[in-house]
Structure 1
Amino acid sequence: MRPKNEQELLARAESIAGLTLSELASQWHIAIPPNLKRDKGWVGMLIETVLGATAGSKAEQDFNHLGIELKTIPINSKGYPLETTFVSLAPLTQNSGIIWENSHVRHKLAKVLWIPVEGMRQIPLAERRIGCPILWQPSADQEQRLRLDWEELMDYIVLGKIEEINAHLGEVLQLRPKGANSRSLTKGIDKNGQIINTLPLGFYLRKQFTSEILQQFMQNG
């Protein structure tokens, strides 16, 4: 059942805070894998199911009717994110007319419900606890930083400099290959305007940026 409003969504998220993944999975009769080697997205899928997210793998927000995206984020014992956060695929072709205001990245990050989950490898998956939910909207400063990175990275794509893109570009946002191997190739454009085969690229939030979001909440909370 999808939540009717933001308050109901937050209440659901708060009700699972403090539970272990096995406690939550057993409440919903969902089998828990031994580890995440073959089930990388399992934690996210569990939380989506419990909270009533509807988007699945579609490009829209997880709670489209509320304008809210859901992100589970693995953290260490100090509350620091353990990995970057995928936002959306980058448009490598047919991207004329895309500006920050109508971009997927801005749409996805307009309002995010973050669910921190213990991610340290030494804690068995079943025993990892779910943290307190954080409902976040970018501040004017955060949006400006996201926008500057997005515009710089999109310039590389539009100008056909796909080969020059690396994970060091961007202060808070980075572009990285999303496909695991050559079977997942997609179309892109080189600097001569020719169509080429290339790995799909995804926009990811850097750990420093998501750490800032979590720290901000802890200070205010």
Structure 2
Amino acid sequence: MPNPIATPPADEHTLLERAQALAGYTLAELAARANLPLPANLKCDKGWIGVLLERFLGASAGSKPEQDFPDIGVELKTIPIDDRGRPLETTFVSVAPLTGNSGVTWESSHVRHKLARVLWIPVEGLREIPLGERHIGTPLIWSPSPEEEELLRRDWEELMDLIVLGKVESITARHGEVLQLRPKGANSKALTQAIGEFGQPIMTLPRGFYLKKTFTGPLLARHFHL
């Protein structure tokens, strides 16, 4: 059984080998090996699976706004799947900047940086499977194709235009074909500054960029020939 690893992977090949070694194990087995308490559920511990896997993969970024494996330019994304390999929820990419966006471009954006190279690790996510009994799936390393990047860029530009124009409050999860913007905050008291409709400063909930299931579903299906 794999052991927690402190050293960051030297290259993609090493990272993928480490991830492949985890496939088939349950979350309880890995948590016991890592001495990490198993939460009752993920409601208050959204990032717990990612933290657990990082211990076996040697991630070094922590909560810094860079890729999880900055030395080799790879981001880790766990994705809960159903019994047919389909994603069960949207995938968080990064926090959206709501102020100071003059001159920001897709090329220099956090979203593009985070999605340039991704290690996807599917994890059983059906609610009827107790958390500890859920298995880790086969990993894949992915970069967006030119077509995928174009879809992401179009959505990002549309959403950023609305933010800059002071329309952040009117953005819904329906905006965007593959990328959506929605509130990201543990509670409704965690407000942040944004631009209002008349250019005035307003306080609003923090927002995050999320990949829609219509994007991650076909991505997984292509790779695993579902």
RMSD of the alignment, in Å?
Answer: 1.1
Q: Does 1:200 align with 2:206?
A: yes
**Partner residue, 2:225:** 219
Aligned residues: 220
Encode CA deviations 1:139-180: one digit per residue, 9 max, x unaligned: 000000000000000000011111211110000000000113
More displaced, 52-61 or 134-143? 52-61
Matches within 5 A, 1:24-35: 24-35=30-41
Partner of 2:124: 118
2:103 corresponds in structure 1 to 97
Which of 81, 88, 102 is matched with 2:94 structurally? 88
- Residue 62 of structure 1 corresponds to 68
Unaligned runs of 5+ in 2: 1-6
Structure 2 residue corresponding to 1:149, chosen from 155, 180, 205: 155
TM-score normalised over the length of structure 1: 0.97
Shift of 1:50: 1.3
- Code of the aligned partner of 1:166: T
Question: Where does residue 9 of structure 1 map in the other structure?
Answer: 15
Give the corresponding residue for 1:209: 215
Distance 1:86 1:166, change over 3 A: same
Bigger drift between 52-61 and 100-109 goes to 52-61
Q: CA deviation at 1:67?
A: 0.5
Residue 2 of structure 1: how far off its partner (Å)? 1.0
1:182 Cα deviation from its structure 2 partner: 3.0
**What are the superposed Cα offsets for residues 38-63 of structure 1, whole Å, 9 maximum, x if unpaired?**
32221111011211111111110000
